[in-house]
C-alpha cells in the first residue's frame, strides 16, 4: 500500500482531501490539514513525481539539445536554467556528441512527454525533419534555423559584426581577416555578408583567402593565426566569431612577438570573462536576455501568464587589442 493510502487510512480522510493538503489547497479545514500534515511527516511522505506528471500530463521539465557542453555556451545555459527555475521548470541536458540518433532522442522525449518543451542550442539533424516535432510541444532554438517552423531567439550577428568591422576601419586597419565558425551556418553567412557589404561600399578589397572556418576554441584560434601568418601577405587585423578564437589568436601572436595592436589587431565576439581578462576588444552580446527570451517563448505557450521578451542590442567593447 502506498504512503498516500496509508495517510488516507490513518487520518480517516478521503483521497481528495489528502491531495488537497498535499497541494496546499485553501479549501481544507485547518484542523484537518494539521492532522494530515502530521501524519505525512510521521510517514516521511514525499509525493511521487512520476505519478503527478502522469496525472497532470506535465513534467515541469525542459530539455536542452546540444552537441557538447562548451565554454561558449555555459553562460546562455546558466541564464536559461535560472529563468526556467524561476517558473518551476527543471532542465535536462541532451548531449548528442554530434550524433543524429542521440539528438533525435531528445525530440522523441518530447513526444513521450518526458519534457514539456525543448531548447535547441545546436542541432545536427535536418531542421525540416525536426520541425515535425513542433506538434508535440514548444521548441525554441538558439542557433538560427534555416528551415522549418522552429523559431530562434538568436540575433542577426551581422549587425554585431559590422560594429567590430567599422571599429577596425576607424582605427585605420583595412587588411582584415575573418575567422568564422560553422561554414554554412546562418550566422556565418550573415557575418560574411555584412563584412563584404561594408568593405565593398568603401572600395576596399575583400580577401577570401583570409577567411578561416571551423574556428571555435582557443587551440583552433592559434592554428588559424599560424596559417594566416604563414601567408605571403599576412593580414593586420582579425575579426573573430567568438572570444575563445580571439584569445587563441592573441596567444599565438604573442608567441610570435607581434606588437598588439600595431602589428595585429584583434576583435572578439560575445564579451566573455576571457576577453575581459586578456584585454581583447570584443562585441557585447546580450546572452542573458536571449536566454530569458528563449524560456519566455516556451513559457508563453505552456504557462498561464505571458512574459514580455527583453530588448536585444549589440555593443562594442574597446580594449587593448585594437
Binding site for DNA (CB under 7 A): 1-5, 12-17, 19-20, 22-23, 26-32, 45-48, 51-52, 54-57
Q: Which is nearer to its own copies, 76 or 161 (CB)?
A: 76
Q: Are 43 and 3 in contact (CB under 8 A)?
A: yes
- What phi, psi does 157 have (nearest 5°)? -70, -15
CA distance 202 to 15: 76
What DSSP string describes 158-193?
HHHHHHHHHHHHHTT---EEEE-SSTTSHHHHHHHH
Pairing of strands 139-141, 117-120: parallel
Q: Which is nearer to DNA, 41 or 56 (CB)?
A: 56
User: 180: how many CB neighbours lie within 10 A of its CB?
Assistant: 23
Q: Which is nearer to its own copies, 61 or 292 (CB)?
A: 61
Nearest-approach distance from CB 296 to its own copies, in angstroms: 19
Answer for which of 23, 34, 68, 231 binds its own copies (CB under 8 A) is 68
Nearest-approach distance from CB 19 to DNA, in angstroms: 4
Using CA atoms, how far residue 302 sits from 115, 142, 286, 299, in Å, is: 12, 19, 25, 5
For residue 311 the three cell numbers come to 530588448
CA–CA–CA angle 191, 197, 200 (5° rounding): 135
Q: Which stretch binds its own copies (CB under 8 A): 21-29, 101-109, 149-157, 166-174?
A: 101-109
Answer for which of 43, 111, 128, 200 binds its own copies (CB under 8 A) is 111
Q: Which is nearer to its own copies, 25 or 320 (CB)?
A: 320
Q: Which is nearer to DNA, 13 or 161 (CB)?
A: 13
CA distance 209 to 194: 17
Answer for which of 6, 19, 131, 251 binds its own copies (CB under 8 A) is 251
Q: Which is nearer to its own copies, 13 or 133 (CB)?
A: 133
Q: Are 106 and 65 in contact (CB under 8 A)?
A: yes
Nearest-approach distance from CB 319 to its own copies, in angstroms: 12
Q: Which residues bind its own copies (CB under 8 A)?
A: 46-51, 53-54, 59, 61, 68-71, 74, 77-78, 81-82, 85, 90-95, 97, 102, 108-109, 111-114, 217-219, 221-222, 247-248, 251, 254-255, 273-274, 276-279
Amino acid at each position: 500500500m502506498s504512503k498516500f493510502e496509508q495517510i488516507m487510512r490513518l487520518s480517516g480522510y478521503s483521497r481528495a482531501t489528502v491531495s488537497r493538503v498535499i497541494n496546499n489547497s485553501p479549501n481544507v479545514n485547518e484542523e484537518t490539514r494539521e492532522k494530515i500534515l502530521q501524519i505525512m511527516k510521521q510517514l516521511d511522505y514525499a509525493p511521487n513525481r512520476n505519478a503527478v506528471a502522469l496525472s497532470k500530463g506535465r513534467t515541469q521539465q525542459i530539455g536542452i539539445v546540444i552537441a557538447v557542453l562548451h565554454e561558449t555556451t555555459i553562460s546562455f545555459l546558466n541564464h536559461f536554467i535560472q529563468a526556467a527555475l524561476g517558473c518551476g521548470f527543471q532542465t535536462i541536458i541532451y548531449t548528442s556528441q554530434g550524433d543524429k540518433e542521440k539528438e533525435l532522442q531528445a525530440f522523441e522525449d518530447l513526444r513521450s512527454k518526458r519534457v514539456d518543451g525543448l531548447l535547441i542550442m545546436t542541432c545536427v539533424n535536418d531542421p525540416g525533419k525536426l520541425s515535425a516535432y513542433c506538434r508535440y510541444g514548444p521548441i525554441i532554438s538558439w542557433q538560427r534555423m534555416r528551415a522549418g517552423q522552429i523559431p530562434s531567439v538568436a540575433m542577426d550577428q551581422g549587425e554585431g559584426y559590422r560594429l567590430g568591422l567599422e571599429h577596425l576601419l576607424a582605427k585605420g586597419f583595412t587588411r582584415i581577416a575573418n575567422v568564422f565558425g560553422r561554414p554554412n551556418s546562418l550566422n556565418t553567412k550573415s557575418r560574411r555578408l555584412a563584412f563584404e557589404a561594408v568593405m565593398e561600399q568603401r572600395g576596399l578589397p575583400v580577401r577570401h583567402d583570409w577567411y578561416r572556418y571551423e574556428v571555435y576554441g582557443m587551440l583552433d584560434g592559434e592554428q588559424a593565426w599560424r596559417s594566416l601568418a604563414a601567408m605571403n601577405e599576412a593580414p593586420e587585423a582579425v575579426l573573430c566569431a567568438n572570444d575563445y578564437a580571439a584569445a587563441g589568436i592573441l596567444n599565438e601572436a604573442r608567441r610570435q612577438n607581434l606588437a598588439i595592436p600595431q602589428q595585429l589587431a584583434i576583435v572578439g565576439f560575445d564579451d566573455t570573462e576571457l576577453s575581459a581578462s586578456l584585454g581583447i576588444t570584443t562585441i557585447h552580446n546580450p546572452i542573458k536576455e536571449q536566454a530569458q527570451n528563449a524560456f519566455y517563448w516556451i513559457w508563453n505557450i505552456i504557462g498561464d501568464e505571458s512574459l514580455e521578451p527583453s530588448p536585444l542590442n549589440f555593443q562594442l567593447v574597446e580594449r587593448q587589442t585594437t
